[in-house]
Chain A
Amino acid sequence: MDIIVKNLTKFYGQQKAVDNLSFEVKAGEILGFLGPNGAGKTTTMKAIAGFLTPTSGSINIGRYNVSDNPEMVKQMIGYLPEHNPLYTDMNVIDYLRYMAQLQRIRASKINDRILEMVNVCGFEGEKHKRISELSKGYRQRVGLAQALIHDPQVLILDEPTTGLDPNQIVEIRELIRKIGREKTIILSSHILAEVEATCDRILIINKGHIVADGTADQLRKASSGCECLRITVEDANRNDVVRALQSLDTVELVDTVADKADSFEVQSRPGESSRRAVFRACVENGWVLTELSPVETKLEDIFRELTKQ
């Protein structure tokens, strides 16, 4: 089921949290939502889940509009809120049963669904405990189980892996990947590697605006217009190398690497590649070239660059 957000704007009093945001998520796509704190991620997700009423703009899920058909939409959405609020005085099974009833799952199916969720989210040993006795990781799983219990078409997960240990993060990621094959998922996170690992598409927002939209590779290409190489040259004088490389036609800038005497970073002019020229220069001077590798722009750098202002 597609999610279409059009011109979404939300004010909290005088403060504009989301400013004219428009984007689409196709069925079966996993969208990663990135942005610094206070960028409007959570507000947007709350609006899609039907908890907040947007100041203006429309959100459609499939054929239904969130504000016109809230009940229909809420039946199709599984939502895991940011702080994962749970009834801590209930035990896990009772809580899931309550959520299943509120989602209007047929009474005859509720037990099967609960058992399936216990298996899928992996808290077999914890299922009879009170929620207040659970560790943060297990609480997160219960929150995820609650979001999945009615087998929704659309999943909205606000920072689903906070508080999990590295093993659990990998498990939850795999789980999201697995579920994501047939569902539309929007997930937000601070961990960029996680978004890159799980999501088909990345949306970076800052101060309520979209600043980047595309796959991780597309974002890289868009941000790094110039080729950047890291080379290591042995048996050579440092200054000679810099001078020789700087004199090449295709090279824009040569930089030494701080803690390594033999290494340099070479940035080419836009649209040009200087790999061959660097190799030839080394051969001509009789230097031994032991490393020549392209430097990939890290997602972190792109993120920082886009959200700095």
Chain B
Amino acid sequence: MIKKIFKTTSPTLTIACRELKSHFDSLSAYILLVLFLGFSGIFTWIYGSDVFFYGQASLQAFFSTAYVTLFLLIPALTMRTIADEMRGGTIEMLLTKPVTRWQIVGGKYLSVMLLIIIALALTLPYYVTVACLGNIDHGAVLCGYFGLLLMSSAYAGIGLFASSICGNPIVSFLISLAIGLLFHIGFGIVGHQFGGIGGQVAICFDMNSHFDSMARGVIDSKDIVYFASVTFAGLFAAEKTLESKTA
């Protein structure tokens, strides 16, 4: 059993490691980290409704800026993942190795998530600083980070799907931004404009409502199910698109 699990995960890990390495080799990882830390740092500490504006020892300000920053940066991370393999023909190399399409999609997803975990880990000094400034709710912070991870995972799934649609990274970027925008504000607007069952359903798809409760420190199983299903739907669609392109 363990051997079997190891066998199926090892190509995924191999692919994830290579992807992560290529992100760092091509500078794209550094640029993204700088942008992420820069934006979230400015809006958490210096400008707008920052920590001092709230006057509370909480990371609310950081979570809301990180939420927007990641929304914009994740499509940039995922746009090349599958699109480049298709355009360069290297997908043929991968698929003629004993590797399944799921392992390829999984490996790419994992590499994006690892990079986001690195980015979030680098914001731990924010947490330490705020904890020194006052009495911080440790549970809420943990919960907020967890929420950011879940939300990133959902966008990573969407981004991978967008990347699998066509061989052009810029088009992939725009598609994933468009789908992301739908989840980010589209469903919310529709839901609040129209009442009734349709509106209710739209609200269910709205990412804000699911994220806000987590950022406040409430973990609800329905939020986790929501993020997990968006992620899975994205990865599933990516795998299917890959299958239709290579069959």
Contacts and interface: CB of A to CB of B under 8 A. Distances in A.
Which 4 residue pairs across A and B have the least CB separation, nearest first? A85-B89, A102-B97, A74-B98, A85-B90
A103 B26 CA distance: 25
B25 A89 contact: yes
23 contacts: A46-B92, A50-B95, A71-B100, A72-B98, A74-B97, A74-B98, A79-B96, A83-B89, A85-B89, A85-B93, A87-B22, A89-B22, A89-B26, A90-B18, A90-B22, A99-B93, A101-B11, A102-B94, A102-B98, A102-B99, A104-B10, A104-B11, A146-B93
Given A51-B96, A104-B98, A86 B14 contact: no
Contact of A52 (B14, B93, B98, B246): B246
Interface in B51-101: 88-90, 92-100
Contacts of B92: 46, 51, 81, 85
Interface of A: 46, 49-53, 70-72, 74-75, 77, 79, 81, 83, 85-90, 98-99, 101-104, 146
A179 B222 CA distance: 59
B247 interface: yes
Contacts of A70: 98
B113 to A, nearest CB: 20
B14 A101 contact: yes
Given A77-B96, A102-B14, A52 B247 contact: yes
A99 B197 CA distance: 52
A98 B246 CA distance: 22
B247 A53 contact: yes
A103 B246 contact: no
Interface of B: 7, 10-11, 14-15, 18, 22, 25-26, 88-90, 92-100, 246-247
A49 B99 CA distance: 13
Contact of A98 (B7, B14, B100): B14
Nearest to A91: B25
User: Interface centre among B10, B26, B89, B100, by most A CB within 10 Å?
Assistant: B89
B29 to A, nearest CB: 13
A79 B10 CA distance: 21
User: Interface centre among A72, A87, A103, by most B CB within 10 Å?
Assistant: A87
A98 B14 CA distance: 7
Contacts of B95: 50-51
A102 B11 contact: yes
A101 B88 CA distance: 21
A79 B7 CA distance: 22
B169 to A, nearest CB: 14
A87 B11 CA distance: 17
Contact of B96 (A49, A53, A101): A49
A296 to B, nearest CB: 39
Given A81-B89, A102-B11, A104-B10, A75 B247 contact: no
B61 to A, nearest CB: 38
Given A53-B247, A146-B93, 4 more contacts: A72-B98, A81-B93, A85-B90, A101-B14
A72 B97 CA distance: 10
B89 A99 contact: no
B35 to A, nearest CB: 21
Contacts of B11: 101-102, 104
